Amino acid sequence: AADGFEIIGTGGSITNKCNEIFLGNNGTALRFLTALVCLGRGRYILTGEKRLLERPVGPLVSALQNMGVAISCHDNCPPVEVMANGLKGGEITLTDIESSQYVSALLLCGPYTAKGIMLTLEGNIVSAPYIDLTIRVMNDFGAKIIISGKHQYTVGTQNIYTGREYYVEGDASSASYFFLAAALAKRTIRVQGVARKSAQGDIRLLAILEKLGCRVTDGETWVEVSADHDLAHGDMTFDMGDMPDMVPTAGVLAAYRKGRTMITNVAHLRIKESNRLAAMVTELNRIGINASELSDGLLVEGGAPHGADISTYNDHRIAMSFAVAGLITPDIKIADKKCVDKSFPEFWQELAKL
């Protein structure tokens, strides 16, 4: 398609043209493909870079084993090896999961299992808005999901996906760096292609910006953030369990605000592309900001950041967050700029427009 992509599906019949799939450091692809390849036939190995091999996938592997899949991993981490023979489905319970993508991966495969799935979630659930987003997209493509109680999902096999034309909204995570730029540089920036009414959890960063004194206006396909004075002062606490990918953005924001900022309910950031909590503490300290790890988050004392050479840990979100700080603080230099290519290859060109 001229302004998008045309995808020819296989109706749930997964071919096996290469038994080893190398995924770099892409945790999303790892989790989604771990479930997806189970619909195929034969041997699959999912592997990647050193950091990916340190990121847990055990709860998803266990759930698939309980459905009769011959699947294994190493100490709860990749490589994942699957001897696929279709996916039976059945009843699954996940408890205290560290990634909502385990849920999305299982739900997405549900219509193509032999007998459907009934998935129950217990305990702590991170990034819950992205489960709702998964269900919305599945419904849009013709699947039927029954939600019983608070966190019980049933996916039948009567309604499989049907092709259609589909508009994919812009990525709220990528937009956040320009919302941050508006707040720090005290200017007005409009981002096209996103909407405040989005189901994406990361759009909720706008509520934090408003609490800190920014003005937010929006239309059907754009969001504009304006700031013309210093960010609100004082001690504040933000539960970011529904938007954990916004923690680097919020951590940099906190560095420029007078007062103490506590970010909570994000312990699972230790298993992202980097150990994001440790990385944020190290790099905030490097620019002269007092920051420390909590058991489930960060504590940041706002101050007057200065320039420094920033390590990115091959983590796109660390790179982009500190790059925005470089708009207003001289001599902040980002190592390994190419790591942003994972999610936002045009980032540096867009940032230069500011």
pLDDT band for position 149 (cuts 50, 70, 90): confident
| Tens digits of residue pLDDT in 100-138 | 999 999 999 999 999 999 999 999 888 999 999 999 999
| Tens digits of residue pLDDT in 227-277 | 999 999 999 999 999 999 999 999 999 999 999 999 999 999 999 989 999
Q: pTM for the full model?
A: 0.90
Mean pLDDT of 134-160: 95
Predicted pLDDT at 15:
84
| Tens digits of residue pLDDT in 35-64 | 999 999 999 999 999 999 999 999 999 999
Residue 299's alpha-carbon distances to 59, 60, 261, 313, 321, in angstroms, are 30, 31, 6, 20, 17
What does CATH list as the number for 20-155?
3.65.10.10
Task: Give yes or no for residue 2 having a pLDDT over 80.
Answer: no
Q: Do domains 20-155 and 172-352 have the same CATH topology?
A: yes
Task: Give yes or no for residue 10 having a pLDDT over 90.
Answer: no
Alpha-carbon torsion angle 27, 144, 116, 75, nearest 10: 10
Q: Does the active-site annotation cover 315?
A: no
| Spatial distance between the Cα atoms of 101 and 252, rounded to a whole number of angstroms | 26
190-196 long-range contacts, Cβ below 8 Å, gap at least 24?
A: 190/222, 190/223, 190/224, 191/222, 191/223, 191/224, 191/225, 192/221, 192/222, 193/169, 193/221, 193/222, 194/169, 194/170, 194/221, 194/222, 194/223, 195/169, 195/219, 195/220, 195/221, 195/222, 195/223, 196/223
The rounded mean pLDDT for the chain is 95
Task: Give yes or no for residue 1 having a pLDDT over 80.
Answer: no
For the chain, give the percent of residues with pLDDT over 90.
92
| Spatial distance between the Cα atoms of 16 and 46, rounded to a whole number of angstroms | 13
Fold of 172-352: UDP-n-acetylglucosamine1-carboxyvinyl-transferase; Chain (3.65.10)
The domains of the chain are located at 20-155, 172-352
Mean pLDDT of 20-49: 96
| Tens digits of residue pLDDT in 202-222 | 999 999 999 999 999 999 999
Query: Which member of 202, 218, 245, 315 is catalytic?
Result: 245
